[in-house]
Structure 1
Amino acid sequence: MSLPRPLARLAVLGAAVLTALAASLVLAGSASAHVSVSSQDAAPGGYGKITFRVPNESDTASTVGLRIQVPPEAAMPSLRTQSLPGWTATLTTSDLAEPLQVHGEEVSSYVSVVEFRAEAGAGIAPGEFQEFALSGGPFPEAGALSFPTVQRYSDGSESAWIEPSIDGQEEPERPAPVLTLAAAAGIEGTASESAGEGQDDSAHAAAVEDSPGGLALFLAILALLTAVGGVVLGWRAGRRTVSS
């Protein structure tokens, strides 16, 4: 038994929109799966904590290593790791071409590589993520800092998150984590806004809505509702014409 033409049209439009919706969700998931870095208090010239969020992209292997490079332009005189159960951290230092001036003293070397390694039986399993925290400063006088990072898996494969992101261009496939430094004048505002959970939830919701995945989801739902409304109106108009 075939459906009436309006209902058949509705079914076709609904299937098309649902397909687009599924595709947008897949794209949104893949776009957010890379290693990222963020901070609540890092500002130029100040000290703060930075956190690397590492999702596991593999379906079969665990993440067992993370190698974070600190380029000379992101050099900090002081950089420390936060202990993480099941992981060991190794710091590598390098000489600076131009010493840093800190509290009237010259600093000629800095931590250039931070490497985390999972102990036996540990690691980030498929479908999970982990956060690795560093504390340091003073941060360079810059708006953003890039930290090329290599993620190592238990099967011997690696994901090199090292490609630079360029303003005005599409995000690369393997972007290096970029830390945006807060303006010094905006730190107090950030701290006061985080005092209440309701304000935090609102800010998180706004961030989700502003993301490409959230926009794609909104447009797909809007298209589906528009299609349903149009077909229903057309069906009712057809029925009134027949009855008259």
Structure 2
Amino acid sequence: MHNFITRGTGTAALAAGLVLAACGSAAAHVTVDAPGAAQGKYTVATFKVPTESETASTTGLRVAVPNLKSVRTEPMPGWTSKVERNDKGESVAVVWTADPGNAGVGPGQFQRFVLSIGPLPSQDTVNFPATQTYSDGKVVAWDQPATGGAEPEHPAPALTLTAGGAAEGGDHQVASAETETSDSDSVARWMGGIGLALGLFAAALGLGLVFRSRQS
């Protein structure tokens, strides 16, 4: 009976650990996602910003972009966005600030910040150095490029671009990118739900073994 209890408890603990590990790895750093992003094309980039502080909220975000012709922000209730440009009219950064009365992104939470950008430069990888501001005044810079070895402590959000071509109709490409992003988010939500369900099933199975062993 002791062996049954040990096995059941171990199964439940393993399942719970896998679920927690998956959630933790998905919310470790500021990241960017843009399915199908290609050189010379337009895309919709989604920046995922977790609040890692246990006592303060995220109230500001600045993301540098590589001197792009077009940068458009998605409306976000409770936030004000501003596109910074150089003397040539190129977009160089985007700043989001929580409006008065908006507590920001609280501990244990994350927020998506979405941009329509392009044409993307002709290079394999594009970094988007980000600066995260907290309600207690702390500022965290996510600006360290990956060097091929161990991940830096504060890696810059980065996109790997596929070979593209000459820039074409921006509005058409943006609409296509938005559709791809929506499809990708839907798949991610389904996969996350399936993973959570499997974890709960494994945990329930482990508890069931414990109860059966006690009854026997």
TM range (shorter): 0.5 to 0.7
8 Å Cα contact 2:46/2:112 also seen in 1:
yes
Partner Cα distance (1:155, 1:145) in 2: 31
Partner of 2:42: 47
Partner of 2:127: 146
Q: Compute the RMSD of aligned alpha carbons.
A: 4.0
Decide which structure has the larger Cα Rg and report it. 1
Residue identity (%): 39
Cα distance change, pair 131–93 in 1 and its aligned pair in 2 (3 A): same
Aligned pair 1:31/2:25, yes or no? yes
Partner Cα distance (2:147, 2:82) in 1: 30
TM-score (norm 2): 0.67
Q: Look up the equivalent residue of 2:62 and give its one-letter code.
A: R
Correspondences of 1:172-191 after superposition (within 5 Å): 172-184=152-164
- Aligned residue for 2:20, secondary structure, equals helix
Aligned pair 1:111/2:91, yes or no? yes
Q: How many residue pairs are counted as aligned between the two chains?
A: 192
Q: Give the one of 78, 83, 90 matched to 2:70.
A: 78
- How far did 1:170 drift? 4.4
TM-score (norm 1): 0.60
- Aligned residue for 2:159, secondary structure, equals strand
8 Å Cα contact 1:41/1:49 also seen in 2:
no
Q: Deviations over 1:73-104 (max 9, x none)?
A: x3323323333222222333347xxxxxxxxx
Aligned pair 1:93/2:78, yes or no? no
- Greater relative contact order structure (CA < 8 Å, 6+ sep): 2
- How far did 1:208 drift? 5.4
Cα distance change, pair 157–23 in 1 and its aligned pair in 2 (3 A): farther
Partner Cα distance (1:201, 1:84) in 2: 18
- Aligned residue for 1:204, secondary structure, equals helix
Partner Cα distance (2:184, 2:129) in 1: 29
| Structure 1 unaligned blocks of 5 or more | 1-6, 96-107, 233-244
Q: Which moved more, 1:41-50 or 1:146-155?
A: 41-50
Q: Look up the equivalent residue of 1:79 and give its one-letter code.
A: V
